[in-house]
């Protein structure tokens, strides 16, 4: 069937395309410039004039980055806290959301009001630091996991999706003798993969990019994630070797190593995101459905 557009709609579409191209350009071009500089010879890059393509291709900066054992340790910490954090966060948030989606839950309005309050009011940095100290979370790997096990915002997205699932499915399962946990695991979760993937992706990106937790609560360098190591390299204008106490023998500069480290820390998310994009878009749409 042919679809016709009015003059105003055509103008709007053209303006929208131009805006998107401009928006992508101001984001993509600086990122591409970082990649080009990181693959250029460090001494030559210091002369400037490199924008879209390396002038003298070189992998020296990447060789230096990967020679540093601290990079591997930080990578393991980042992967571990992202994988463990995503699994536990998604599972706990989904269980709470399933309970909150039941309108016959006793005290449901009170729980909702308490959850909404936490979205606008917090205890502050110093009380939080003292609490973590009493709980033994300082310089502890679990400081990356436990404080963000649950998110009320994510719970609301999941709760709204669970409400859209016909209750007749649960009634049929109960007639067959299934308990609530069995219904949740074998019926609700399989039907909720798109929105669960959305929550997992959002929390995974947060975990991977988070450096403030390590910056405030972790002094042990062996527990530094990649982003915290990158933060020290960039903020203190150090090379990875200086930041971690190792020696660099290759012909590199502090700036070239910073750029190479940026690329290394960004690649995993860039590679994974396209595979989850369809679930992300579908999950955000489904999770916004209201009764």
**Rounded Cα distance, 45 and 43, in Å:** 5
**pLDDT tens for the chain, residues 1 to 291:** 455 556 666 676 777 778 778 777 787 788 888 888 888 887 777 777 777 788 888 888 887 777 777 888 888 999 999 999 999 999 999 999 999 988 788 888 899 999 888 888 888 889 999 999 999 999 999 999 999 999 999 999 899 889 888 888 888 888 888 888 888 988 899 888 888 988 998 898 899 989 899 999 999 888 999 888 878 777 765 555 555 444 444 556 677 777 888 888 888 877 777 776 666 665 555 544 444
CB distance 255 to 172 below 8 Å? no
CB distance 180 to 144 below 8 Å? no
Both tokens of 279, joined, read 């679930």
CB distance 49 to 36 below 8 Å? no
């Amino acid at each position: 069937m042919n679809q016709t557009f009015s003059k105003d709609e055509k103008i709007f579409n053209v303006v929208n395309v131009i805006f998107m191209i401009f928006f992508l350009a101001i984001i993509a071009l600086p990122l591409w410039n970082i990649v080009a500089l990181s693959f250029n010879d460090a001494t030559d890059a210091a002369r400037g004039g490199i924008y879209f393509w390396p002038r003298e291709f070189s992998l020296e900066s990447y060789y230096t980055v990967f020679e540093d054992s601290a990079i591997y340790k930080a990578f393991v910490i980042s992967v571990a806290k992202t994988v463990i954090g995503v699994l536990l966060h998604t599972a706990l948030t989904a269980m709470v959301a399933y309970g909150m989606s039941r309108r016959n839950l006793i005290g449901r309005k009170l729980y909702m009001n308490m959850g909404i309050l936490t979205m606008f009011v917090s205890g502050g940095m110093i009380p939080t630091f003292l609490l973590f100290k009493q709980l033994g979370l300082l310089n502890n790997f679990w400081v990356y996991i436990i404080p963000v096990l649950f998110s009320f915002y994510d719970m609301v997205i999941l709760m709204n999706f669970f409400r859209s699932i016909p209750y007749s499915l649960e009634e049929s399962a109960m007639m067959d003798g299934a308990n609530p946990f069995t219904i949740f695991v074998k019926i609700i979760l399989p039907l909720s993969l798109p929105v669960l993937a959305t929550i997992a992706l959002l929390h995974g990106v947060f975990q991977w990019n988070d450096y403030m937790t390590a910056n405030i609560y972790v002094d042990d360098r062996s527990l530094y994630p990649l982003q915290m190591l990158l933060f020290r390299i960039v903020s203190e204008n150090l090379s990875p070797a200086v930041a971690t106490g190792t020696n660099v023998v290759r012909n590199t500069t502090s700036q070239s190593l910073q750029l190479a480290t940026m690329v290394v820390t960004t690649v995993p998310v860039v590679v994974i995101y396209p595979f989850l994009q369809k679930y992300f878009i579908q999950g955000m749409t489904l999770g916004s459905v209201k009764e």
